[in-house]
Chain A
Amino acid sequence: MEAPLMHLALVGTPNSGKTSLFNALTGSRQKVANYPGVTVERKEGSFVTPLGRQVSLVDLPGTYSLRGRSPDEEITRDIVLGRTPGEALPDLVLCVADSTNLRLTIRLLLELKSTGRPLMLVLNMFDIATRRGVTVDVPRLSETLGVPVVTSIAVRKGGTAELLRRTDEIIAAQAPQPARPNLWQPLNVAQLRATQREADRIIAATISLPARPDTWTARIDAVVLHPVAGLAILALILFVMFQAVFAWAAPLMELLATAFGALGELVSDTMPAGILQSFLQNGVISGVGSVVVFLPQIVIIFLFILLLEDFGYMARAAFLMDRIMGGAGLHGRAFIPLLSSFACAIPGIMATRVIDNRRDRLTTILIAPLMTCSARIPVYTLIISAFIPARQVWGFINLQGLVMFGLYVAGIASALGVSSLIKFFMWRDYAPAPFMLELPDYKMPRPRSIAIGVYTRAKMFLQRAGTTIFAMMVLIWFLASFPQPPEGATDPAINYSLAAMIGKALEPLLAPVGFNWQIAVALIPGMAAREVAVAALGTVYAIEGGKEAAEQIGAVLATKWSLATALSLLAWFVFAPQCASTLAVIRRETASWTWMWVTFGYMFALAYAASFATYTIAVALGAG
């Protein structure tokens, strides 16, 4: 007979290495980073112990207590107390501690004991603790606490061996034991204090902590958290990041663009002219290809973000920005979700689960899509490289990079502006929510985890190009190719197509902001995802312009659009709610259709207004 499946759960204070352990044990690739509040969802995986027991493991958001004061902490509480519908009560709770900082975890462990669940304390990051000279009397600690204690190093090969061995022992011993009742009650202040005192007493008796802080962290923080130098460094990091997106990616992008150009030519030279040739050349290669060439930029931006996250800089940036964001009515914990939104608004919106106050969380969700996500990069780059000369300003700054930086700043400024307005109009009785955040010690980013992170992101980007974008391209190509022009027609074939009809129907609406019908056609499928707009423009102009156009979409745009139109389109994409998945996540996270439509509506209005203003001013200045 097969032994029943064992359910294990990882519980612990934030940033103690739960997800690292989860990944090490189950071979998963969940997101790990050096700041509190990375995991905001329950994640499940499985593994087989050395003795062959099948184990299901859940990774949970970090928490300091079982009170569940924010949505992510509620997830953890509900799993531990067996309140999640359809979820087994864990057979063993692994309480994961950062061994350099045991006070808070041991208090949590004392609280967990009252739930009656079998427990094991995992002293993770034991490598760092050893290096700092922390010594733990493990048998004594285990005896005092009345729970098994093991040490582990989640990020080292074999670092979980002891954990696995003890798990097997516990599983073997546990079967006949009767379950203990759940006596957990939320701790009141006095109990909480008493528990922390007891934890401190236990630590004093079993652990020797040389009061030697991490000297590297102290030295780096002296500069990075300096009130003036710190802000300058933060600005410099962001600035270098956007310069790099342009400067470093350019050669690789050219290579990719040339490759797609050659592929397109190969298709047009070797295949007989006709529908299939047009589909491959205009729909697939010009459309999807025009998005795939942005892969190097996506990789670079993620590389930067992942390095900062793994190093431990994110919490510092939140510290530096706290009052500035607070002035705009944002919660201190909103910074990290907003910074994650630079990659993509979806994980950013999910990350708002760490915000305890409902209103603050909602404000953050509403403005997260204004942060410049990586899907805007293709749009921005395409237009910038077509219309902004690649000059050097003051000798060392790339003008194109500068404009890109300006667009990012526009996104941030408008997010802060919208947040101030929300605070001012909707929540008059606003009181600033507290900001309390652990600043973890710096850790050397590990090349392997960075590589995995970048690879995962690149794969996602290509997958999207191959699925969503490809599907949209097929549609666009079809609309732009049919019906075929009548016999003896003189205009370009596309002018007789469905796409032109739709685009021309919308043109009057978009004319005030300077968009032509081709842009109108690109914006509609662009609702699915922002990059689709680039691919759609690629296809539409390729069908219209033939072979040369297919190769250099940027060059074509430069001849077809005025500078005013180009700038107006840039302004449009700073604001436009052009992403169906983001809207879906907003609906899910706020559990309301209303807020989704509010987001859609206000962003749309902002986009139209901004484009209108940009276009009008640009035309007045003679750029029309």
Chain B
Amino acid sequence: MTEQNGARPQMPLGLARLGYSGVIQHLAAGDASSALSADELESRLIELGFVEGVRVEVLHEGIVGRDPIAVRVENVTIAVRRREAMAIIVA
């Protein structure tokens, strides 16, 4: 699936800057230090449409620690904290 954005390095969406646009490579819920269990976090992310191959864009960020972020996922905008967004690996 990396062929879409072949040259770009992979990174967690939680580190993306404002305006970043990329494609979801995989979910790594175990790596995010969320209060949720890895399974629960992954389920919720999928339920909000964060699955492999989907294009995401960081539209807005908050004032304290640039957190949370508003992410465009296909046709919806979802607000998430960077902590949880660390589980979304993009490139």
Contact = CB atoms under 8 A, between A and B. Distances in A.
A578 interface: no
Contact of A196 (B51, B61, B79): B51
A434 B34 contact: yes
B60 A225 contact: yes
A196 B53 CA distance: 12
Contact of B70 (A211, A213, A319, A327): A319
A213 B51 contact: no
A434 B41 contact: yes
A431 B52 CA distance: 28
B44 A319 contact: no
A504 interface: no
Given A193-B51, A319-B62, A438 B39 contact: no
Interface in B58-82: 59-68, 70, 72, 74-81
B74 A103 contact: yes
A446 to B, nearest CB: 22
B18 to A, nearest CB: 9
A103 B46 CA distance: 11
A532 B8 CA distance: 66
A435 B76 contact: no
B60 A435 contact: no
A67 interface: yes
Contacts of B81: 322, 326, 332, 432, 434-435
A175 interface: no
B35 A433 contact: yes
B51 to A, nearest CB: 5
- Chain B, interface size: which category? 35 or more
Given A323-B68, A432-B83, A192 B59 contact: no
Contact of B47 (A192, A209, A213, A357): A192
B5 interface: no
B52 to A, nearest CB: 8
B34 to A, nearest CB: 6
Nearest to B67: A323
A183 interface: no
B36 interface: yes
A101 interface: yes
Given A103-B49, A319-B68, A323-B64, A434 B35 contact: yes
Contacts of B61: 227
A219 B46 CA distance: 28
Interface in A432-481: 432-439
Interface in A190-245: 192-193, 196-197, 200, 209, 211, 213, 217-218, 221, 225-228, 230-231
Given A225-B70, A436-B48, A324 B76 contact: no
A437 B79 contact: yes
B41 A103 contact: no
Contacts of A34: none
B84 A193 contact: no
A439 B65 contact: no
Contacts of A100: 75
B37 to A, nearest CB: 11
Interface in A279-319: 315, 318-319
A104 interface: yes
A197 B67 CA distance: 29
Given A189-B43, A225-B60, A434 B77 contact: no
Nearest to A221: B60
A320 B47 contact: no
Given A434-B83, A439-B70, A324 B64 contact: yes
A30 to B, nearest CB: 24
A69 B67 CA distance: 25
A322 B47 contact: no
A334 to B, nearest CB: 14
A363 interface: no
Of A318, A319, A327, most buried by chain B (CB within 10 Å of CB) is A319
A76 interface: no
A218 to B, nearest CB: 8
Contacts of A327: 64
A436 B63 CA distance: 17
Contacts of A193: 46, 51-52
Nearest to A432: B35
B60 A319 contact: yes
Given A101-B75, A319-B68, A323-B64, A436 B84 contact: yes
Given A69-B44, A217-B77, A436-B48, 10 more contacts: A101-B76, A103-B75, A192-B43, A225-B70, A227-B61, A322-B79, A433-B35, A434-B44, A435-B84, A436-B45
25 contacts: A64-B48, A69-B40, A192-B46, A192-B47, A197-B51, A200-B51, A209-B74, A211-B75, A213-B75, A221-B70, A227-B61, A228-B63, A318-B79, A323-B62, A323-B63, A323-B64, A327-B64, A332-B79, A432-B35, A434-B34, A435-B68, A435-B84, A436-B48, A437-B78, A438-B77
The 9 A-B residue pairs with the shortest CB-CB distance, nearest first, are A431-B35, A227-B63, A323-B64, A225-B60, A64-B47, A439-B77, A319-B79, A437-B79, A434-B84
